[in-house]
Amino acid sequence: MNVGIIGAGFAGLSAAYELTRQGYRVVVYEAAPQAGGLASGFQAPGWSWALERFYHHIFASDRAILELARSIGFEERVFFRSPVTAQWWNGRAYPIDGANPLEGALNVLRFPAVPLFDRLRFGLMVAYLKYGVRDWRPLETVTATEWTRAWMGPRVHEALIEPLLRGKFGPYADEVNMAWLWARFKARTFKLGYFVGGFQAFADALVEAVQAQGGEVHLGTPVTGVRPLSGGTGGWEVRLPDGAEVFDSVITTVPPSVMGRLVPELPGSYLERLLSLKSLGAVVLVVALKHRLTDGLYWVNLDKRQFPMLALVEHTNYIEPEHYGGDHLVYLGDYLPPDHPYFERSTEDLFAVYESALRHFNPDYSRDWVRDVWAFRARYAQPVVPVGYSRHIPPLRTPLPGLYFASMSQVYPWDRGTNFAVEIGQRVAQMVIRDTIGLLDGMSAVS
């Protein structure tokens, strides 16, 4: 069986790895010049490690990606640390987690934005969501705003939850269901993981593992269309700028809107579900500084009513600056509607918007600290998950035989991330394998 896969992010590469292990002939097409998708990296002169265009880490609970790393012999290049995550309030940063549950609980109790009783209530509710809730489905019938106001209290909601929802989802903040917030608390661990060499090193190793098992990975190769073969004999034609290839099955890992353009033959009901999915894009600036910006903070959650972005992430307070030629690297990140003008702004214009925030974190900051600035944009980054979202997710197996669709919009209730990209890639690969076995069994019965 020949399988074409569109997209060499972690979903597409994980599917390719599973299928080539089972002897399938697999060809992966990726429009970008490197593998990794939203977790891909770049390297400036003098850096020994690549840096992700959009900040990434993994959790100790991310079993799918950790098992994949072990399977391809990359596990020794995975490590975990406990960097400081903080909430900015009233002109300073307050740590809100720790290296262990006790330290994390004490830091929450010290957070002065809400009264002590509400802090205790917040801690109890987080513990209940993380350890007491096993079935998330009832939580998707209510919005996160409604649930947290009722059970955590209005002051906790306004100080901690509302800034997160507004920053993540903008105009859709009040539509997001509580199952999404539950999943964030459920998946998060006190230690965060990273790869020696960055996520790009892991993506490149996964490409090599696929190729070692007989698969092909073509980078810098955009797909212009996917069409069923005429005559009703089954099979798919993947159209490329310089020709076409034929496959028994095709897996697409592109955004929902791109899927609709690539395969116009999709039935109207399925296409309608695809196009009804809402999402936000990501705009991220990476700033290389000559000096450390914050006092050891890795991740600082910000209130977009006061700042022009959702988060400030000082990567080199987590990973040593020696790997980046001594640069101190800071992410300034935001989620925005795909039609927001920032997606068209130049790097210089964006930095002019975001730079003023840097002085809040270090009054000594000045423009001569800046060695370089890079801007990265992705119009599909954060799926929006309203009440009852599970009823609207398009299935991985499309109505067209041999065509499959796997995207971040389908990892729900989990939030987007590399671990769940790996998991959905493995899931769609197993679906292809099961369908192949069923097809072969049917052929045997006929013969």
Give pLDDT tens digits for 323-361. Answer: 999 999 999 999 999 999 999 999 999 999 999 889 999
Is the confidence at residue 427, as pLDDT, over 60? yes
Determine the pLDDT at residue 246. 96
What is the band of 232 on the pLDDT scale with cuts at 50, 70, 90?
low
Question: What whole-number distance in Å separates Cα of residue 248 and Cα of residue 187?
Answer: 36
Chain segment 78-91, per-residue pLDDT in tens: 999 999 999 898 88
Of all residues in the chain, the percent with pLDDT exceeding 70 is 95
Sheet holding 78-81, edge to edge: 58-59, 192-195, 78-81
Determine the pLDDT at residue 102. 65
Q: Parallel, antiparallel, or unpaired: how do β-strands 403-405 and 249-252 relate?
A: parallel
- Mean of pLDDT values over 291-305: 93
Chain segment 149-176, per-residue pLDDT in tens: 999 999 999 988 998 999 899 999 999 9
Determine the pLDDT at residue 394. 94
Average pLDDT of every residue of the chain: 93
- Into which CATH architecture does domain 279-383 fall? Alpha-Beta Complex (3.90)
Higher local confidence (pLDDT), 426 or 110: 426
Is the confidence at residue 199, as pLDDT, over 80? yes
Helices 144-151 and 162-169, packing angle to 10 deg:
170
The least confident of 38-47, 97-106, 225-234, 325-334 is 97-106
- Mean of pLDDT values over 62-74: 97
The least confident of 100-109, 216-225, 241-250, 270-279 is 100-109
Question: What whole-number distance in Å separates Cα of residue 1 and Cα of residue 437?
Answer: 11
Higher local confidence (pLDDT), 302 or 444: 302
Residue 194, both tokens? 């990273």
- Into which CATH architecture does domain 2-75+197-276+392-446 fall? 3-Layer(bba) Sandwich (3.50)
What is the band of 206 on the pLDDT scale with cuts at 50, 70, 90?
very high
Determine the pLDDT at residue 131. 92
Determine the pLDDT at residue 149. 96
Determine the pLDDT at residue 201. 98
Of all residues in the chain, the percent with pLDDT exceeding 90 is 83
C-alpha distances in angstroms, 284 versus 100, 124, 193, 378, 432? 30, 34, 21, 9, 36
Strands (E), 150-278: 192-195, 216-218, 225-228, 236-240, 243-247, 249-252
What is the band of 442 on the pLDDT scale with cuts at 50, 70, 90?
low
Residue 133, both tokens? 């809730």
Is the confidence at residue 440, as pLDDT, over 80? no
Chain segment 10-51, per-residue pLDDT in tens: 999 999 999 999 999 999 999 999 999 999 999 999 999 999
Cα-Cα end-to-end distance for the chain: 19
- Of 304, 307, 422, 427, nearest to 359 (Cα)? 307
Is the confidence at residue 441, as pLDDT, over 70? no
Higher local confidence (pLDDT), 377 or 93: 377
Question: What whole-number distance in Å separates Cα of residue 206 and Cα of residue 426?
Answer: 13
- Mean of pLDDT values over 396-403: 96
Question: What whole-number distance in Å separates Cα of residue 342 and Cα of residue 330?
Answer: 19
Determine the pLDDT at residue 264. 92
Planar angle of CA 290, 294, 300, nearest 5 degrees: 125
Residue 200, both tokens? 């790009």
Give the torsion sign (CA, 117, 123, 127, 128): positive
Determine the pLDDT at residue 100. 67
- Mean of pLDDT values over 425-438: 93
- How many of the other CB atoms lie within 10 Å of CB of 267? 10
In this structure, the dihedral spanned by the alpha carbons of residues 227, 230, 236 and 237, taken in order and rounded to 10 degrees, is: -60
- Mean of pLDDT values over 59-67: 95
Is the confidence at residue 443, as pLDDT, over 60? no
What is the band of 261 on the pLDDT scale with cuts at 50, 70, 90?
very high
